[in-house]
Amino acid sequence: MILTTKTEIGWNNIRMVPILHNRMEFALEVRRVFKDFEPDHVAVEYPDTLKGKIIDGVKRLPLLSVVYYEEKDETFTYLLLEPTDGGVEAIRLALSNGIPLHFVDRDTEGCPPDFSPMPDPYAITRIGHFLYCQAHMKTYRGHDASPEDLLREKTMAYHLQELSKTGEKILFVGGLSHAQGILDMLDQPQTQVIGRRVRKGVGLAHLHRDSSREIMGEMPFLSTAYERSRTGPMELDRLKINNELIDIGRKRHWKTSKEEVPHSQIRMLNKFARNYAFLTENLVPSFYQIIVAARGTVDDNFAYEVWEEGSDYPYQSEEPGLPVLRLEGEDLFLDNRRIRFHRQLKTLRRRLVPVPVKKKKREQYPGEWQKDFKGFSICSYPPEDVVVEGYGHYLSEKALEIKTEENIRIEPFACSMLDGLDIRETIRKWTSRTIYVREDRPLKGKVGSVVVIFDPDLPDRDGREEFPWRVTWLGEHNQESDMAFYSTPAGEVMDGPGISRCQYGGFMMTYPPLRVYDVWRDPFFHFARNKPEKLLMAALDYSFEKHVVYVAATPPSGWCQSLAARLGKKIIYLPIGTFSPVTLKKIKQFHVLDGHPVRKYARDYI
């Protein structure tokens, strides 16, 4: 073994770059060495029997390809060509620079997958590639290799010796576990090892989009960042990419759920993920660990948004020109783990550090469902109607119950027990030796309308609103109330064909149905200064009963109180903070369907 400098591994005119397959840090090292070394030949750790198909697949990148063939025992072997693999990167560089390419490995069948623990590749960004490889080679030097590994190392050493005779600069990219064995054999003359020279039935296929979410060695979001970096600077940091993913997840979560994830929770998420990584003897959390941390510190919806963004590989094609292959983790002998998101759109996912995903229909291309959403004859989703009607009924009963308790008169016992003994007041004033009784005075009137304000949505300086869509819906039968609301626009977030997910900013419900004119166009309510006031005015105007329930973060304005008095109505204000945030979160989300026919299949997506 000859070390030309303290930072290089090589032998004579051969420069070696030991790698761990499908790890971004090693692919970056291959690019760096290729640029500095300027080789005349490139040799890679792949058998020559697969050369044609591998080169064809690499030329298709960034589209993902799978080289496959059947072994003697009828077992199919699959080789996924990913942009973050150091060997694949070496092939791409050789092809793009017109440098001769050599496949020097031995064609071997029945090789078991190697799950030997390796130090976290992120250490390379701190100590460098040379020290990382040197530490591993010193640790494992002298370990017994399997007979198949010895044959492979002898084959690679023989081909490298033959290439070395040209006197030109050779760049060899191969597995770190074979590096020390090959270096030891290069010091001795090698003979060609008997082995297969031709393999029949080798195929090339395009990897299905759903499979790319499951079986890629690196997180697809990271692979995408690496692919984009090939045309720019090489400075990529796994930690920074993880932080970027979490930041995008925050924005997606706000867009779909209108819930802000505070920085305090993000700090807690990062600490959770870091400690989880340390427990598994890694420096940087994996994709799986990030998702678990997101779910544990925020909620399942946020974790889903992080998974959805992190598992998406954008380089896809509807007409790949090759057979399309679907693969699962078991096909590549991947160690699977599962995580279940408990959300309205329940999803599972499987991958290497996998988050298995329950198979559900997806868009053929991004934006397909949004493009097809017309919005001319929209309707609601009946199961959600039942929920919101039930919640409105609950708020009505709750408001009457609270006001009835406030209407109770308590007085010292004189000559009548009235409606019974008031134990609480009697005990409170026990020192006075006085017994107190209570008189229940029923509250007159019922509740005719309910208003719930999740967000007043006051316009910002530029007049922008988070909930700009304003709609009035009429009840479809006598069990439904008329409803007016403002929300996020229909057609912005799609959960299926003709199925749009929206978030209420606020809504008004009034019973009986089929009475309400379009609240947002009615000139009678134009005096309202904002959307909550307009909904409350409509609730007061359309209520047949004396009471109107108003649920919001702040009490109704004095102007609305005055209007209620003139109309002979009373507003029962309930602070929204007194209600379960979990329930409010469920009520706040609803779906808009693009016509009644969509109801037939909406349950498959909602």
In a domain, 453, yes or no: yes
Position 221 pLDDT exceeds 90: yes
| CA pair distance 606, 590, nearest whole angstrom | 10
Q: How high is the pLDDT of residue 359?
A: 54
Same domain, 333 and 316: yes
Residue 2 has pLDDT above 50, yes or no: no
**Where does the pLDDT of residue 44 fall: very low under 50, low under 70, confident under 90, or very high at 90 and above?**
very high
| Residue 220: inside a domain | no
Please compute the mean of the pLDDT values over residues 261-273 and round it to a whole number: 91
CA proximity to 173, closest of 47, 88, 48, 62: 88
pLDDT band at 238 (very low <50, low <70, confident <90, very high): very high
| Closest listed residue to residue 598, CA positions, set 346, 363, 380 | 380
**Would 214 be classed as within a structural domain?**
no
Q: Are residues 355 and 339 in the same domain?
A: yes
Does some domain include residue 550?
A: yes
Mean pLDDT along residues 197-219 = 87
Q: Of the candidates 327, 360, 393, which is a domain's last residue? A: 360
Tell me the residue range of the domain where 69 lies: 9-207
Under the banding of pLDDT at 50, 70 and 90, the label for residue 143 is low
Burial class (CB in 10 A: 0-12, 13-18, 19+), 244: middle
| Beta-bridge partners for 501 | 591
Q: Copy the structure tokens of residue 107.
A: 């064609």
What SS3 class is residue 62? coil
What DSSP designation does 542 have? H
Q: Please say whether the beta carbons of 199 and 43 come within 8 A.
A: no
pLDDT for 175 beyond 50: yes
Domain's final residue, options 161, 192, 207:
207
The kind and range of the H/E element at 536 are helix 531-542
Residue type, 207: L
Residue 51 sits in the same domain as residue 192 = yes
- pLDDT of 469 reads 92
Which residues are within 8 A (CB) of 486 and not within 5 positions of it... i.e. 6 or more apart? 457, 467, 468, 469, 470, 471, 504, 505, 506, 507, 531, 535
* 155 shares its domain with 246: no
User: Mean of the pLDDT values across residues 13-27?
Assistant: 91
Q: For the whole prediction, is pTM greater than 0.85? A: no
Position 245 pLDDT exceeds 90? yes
Q: What is the mean pLDDT of residues 560-579?
A: 91
Looking at the structure, tell me whether residues 96 and 168 fall in a common domain: yes
| Residue 229 covered by a domain | no
The number of domains in the chain is 4
Calpha distance 275→285 (Å, rounded)? 8
Closest alpha carbon to 114 in 61, 152, 72: 152
Q: List, as one string, the DSSP characters of 402-471.
A: HHHHHT-EEEE-SS--TT-B-HHHHHHTGGGT--EEEE--PPPS-EEEEEEES------TT---S--EEE
Please state the rounded mean pLDDT for residues 353-375: 69
| 603 vs 161: CA distance, rounded Å | 65
Q: Which tokens in the block code for residue 301?
A: 């919806």
H or E stretch including 250?
helix 238-257
> Does 529 lie in the same domain as 413?
no
Give percent of the chain above pLDDT 90.
40
pLDDT of the residue at 460 = 82
d(CA 556, CA 573): 7
Is the pLDDT score of 282 beyond 50? yes
User: Are residue 473 and residue 488 in the same domain, yes or no?
Assistant: yes
pLDDT tens by residue, 83-99: 999 999 999 999 999 99
pLDDT, tens only, 284-298: 999 999 999 999 898
Look at residue 371 and tell me if it is in a domain: no
Q: What is the reported pLDDT for 366?
A: 76
* Cα atoms in the 13 Å half-sphere on the side-chain side of 397: 6
In terms of domains, do 396 and 531 share one? yes
- pLDDT grade for 353, boundaries at 50, 70 and 90: very low
Question: Mean pLDDT across the stretch 572-583?
Answer: 90
The pLDDT value recorded for residue 273 is: 93
In a domain, 215, yes or no: no
Domain contains 270: yes
Averaged pLDDT score across all residues of the chain? 85
On whether both 287 and 388 belong to a single domain, the answer is: no
Question: 6 falls in which pLDDT band (50, 70, 90)?
Answer: low
Verify that 173 and 121 share a domain, yes or no. yes
Based on the fold, state whether residues 301 and 384 are members of the same structural domain: no
Tell me how crowded residue 527 is: count the other CB atoms within 10 A of its CB: 11
* pLDDT for residue 348: 34
Confidence of residue 316 (pLDDT cuts 50, 70, 90): confident
Same domain for 271 and 349, yes or no, is yes
